[in-house]
Structure 1
Amino acid sequence: MGVAIRVAAEDDRERVVQLLDDAFRDDPVSGWVFPDAAHRRDRHPRLMAVFADIVFAEGRVDITEDGAACALWLSVSADEGHADEDHADEGHADEDGPVQLREAVDPDNVRVELVGRLTAEIHPSGRAHKYLWMIAVAPERQGEGLGSALVRSVLDRCDQEGVPAYLEASNERSRALYERLGFGRTGRPLELPDGPRMWPMWREPRAGSATGA
């Protein structure tokens, strides 16, 4: 049987935030952003809520029909991504985002802002693509193929439309999953200061599947 997937509605927001919190609270990057476990339990849900709200407003949230997994996607235009020196002034407004994120989530925690700045700096520009920001599976349902099904549902559309996809893997397990789905590492890994690595990964649309984009 296939996995039933639908686009999440606003009344799914609480469930989406809970999935993200449960799935990422012990992720290496979350542990780096919030080293103290008690503080992480308090502030991590706030961070996940902000992420969810951004994608509900600007992108697409897919969720399995049973509410066990979700994926957050953004459509990135060709002129978005990291700003180069020739476009530094144009990127100024986007640079305010990490500051606003820190102020909303944990004002005294510079790592909340820093992780946003560093991932923005490595985000590729020059080609329109789909950006898989986050994918979360309820801990008790991991290993059932729900995450793969969620990603494949969008990658199938990418192939049909001739659109590439991009993500940053935050741990070895997720990196291996994405490699199986056709993503390859692009550029150098992001080394968080005194922290874990993140791997930028890119997937070209599958040859023969595009419909002439």
Structure 2
Amino acid sequence: MPTISEVHEDQAESLVAVYTRAFFDDPVFSWIFPEPERRAEANRRFFTVIVESTFAGGGLAIQIEDFSATSLFYPPSVLPTAQAHADVLTQLENKLDEQAERAVAFMNLLYDNHPRNLPPHLYGTFLSAVPGRQGKGLGTRLKKAQFALADDTDAGVYGEASCLRNLALYERLGQVRLGKTITLEGGPSLYPIWRPQASKRSGKSED
């Protein structure tokens, strides 16, 4: 069974490469960058900002099977601040230039809809497998690794599913819908999801 390992900051380019490919046909990123011929480069620039800012803010990343799938997240102790969010927007505007408008709108929607009254929680931002490795259970293993990390400190797990297929998977793993659907103007929707802390869940196993 392939092991899951932590991704270090000097491996950031490998993370960016995964997300650049994995989100090329994603409905959200097809809305953010509607021109297919420019999307790969735009994705690369977008995820360069996201990966670098996540590491700079104390976030973590894990990978499996030689970067076949990766997960980027913030542990409970370092959730993004308002200043960190503003810095990301500035970097996106600088990196993406005239392609920045929808990327900024997307990030603002995620930030504005992140509930402020949740108990301590891990925030899972981007999780995906490269084309050809999707649907192989790698994302499930990474998601369960997030759950284990959260349970170590009795934290919840929050995130957004970018499509109904992912939502169904996360619900099978024990997460539940939380709050309102996030809808991009004239575009697709995202679905906030939540997994309560271990101390708040029933004794029934979710594995």
**Category of TM-score, reference length = shorter chain:** 0.7 to 0.9
Runs of 4+ more than 6 Å apart = none
Shift of 1:18: 0.9
Hey, what does 1:67 align to over in structure 2?
67
- Structure 2 distance, partners of 1:103, 1:168, is 23
2:108 to 104, 110, 117: 117
Cross-structure match for 2:50: 51
User: What's the CA shift for 1:77?
Assistant: 4.9
Q: Which residue of 2 aligns with 1:203?
A: 195
Question: Residue in 2 aligned with 1:85?
Answer: none
Match of 2:11 in 1: 12
Please report how far the alpha carbon of residue 161 of structure 1 lies from its aligned counterpart in structure 2 after TM superposition: 2.2
> How far does the alpha carbon of each residue in 1:177-205 deviate from its partner, in whole angstroms, 9 at most, with x for none?
11111111111101110000011111113
- 1:1-213 equivalences in 2 (<5 Å): 2-57=1-56, 58-77=58-77, 91=82, 93-94=83-84, 96-97=86-87, 99-109=89-99, 110-126=101-117, 127-206=119-198, 207=201
Corresponding residue SS for 1:139: coil
Select between 136-145 and 113-122 the one with higher mean Cα deviation: 136-145
Matched residue SS, 1:25: coil
State the alpha-carbon separation in 2 of the partners of residues 81 and 105 from structure 1: 20
* Pair 1:160–1:205, CA change in 2 (3 A): same
Matched AA of 2:133: R
Which amino acid counterpart does residue 153 of structure 2 have in structure 1? E
Identical pairs, percent: 31
Deviation at 1:98, TM superposition (A): 5.0
Q: How many pairs were matched up?
A: 198
Kept in 1, the 8 Å contact 2:157–2:195? The answer is: yes
Distance 2:107 2:44 in 1: 17
Contact 1:75–1:128, Cα closer than 8 Å, also in 2: no
**C-alpha contact (below 8 Å) 2:76/2:155 kept by paired residues:** no
Structure 2 residues without counterparts, runs of 5 or longer: none
Query: Do the aligned partners of residues 139 and 124 (structure 1) sit closer, same or farther apart at CA in structure 2, a change above 3 Å counting?
Result: same
Matched-pair contact (CA < 8 Å) for 1:62–1:71: yes
The Cα of 1:11 is off from its aligned counterpart by: 3.4
8 Å CA contact 1:130, 1:166 repeated in 2:
yes
TM-score (norm 1): 0.84
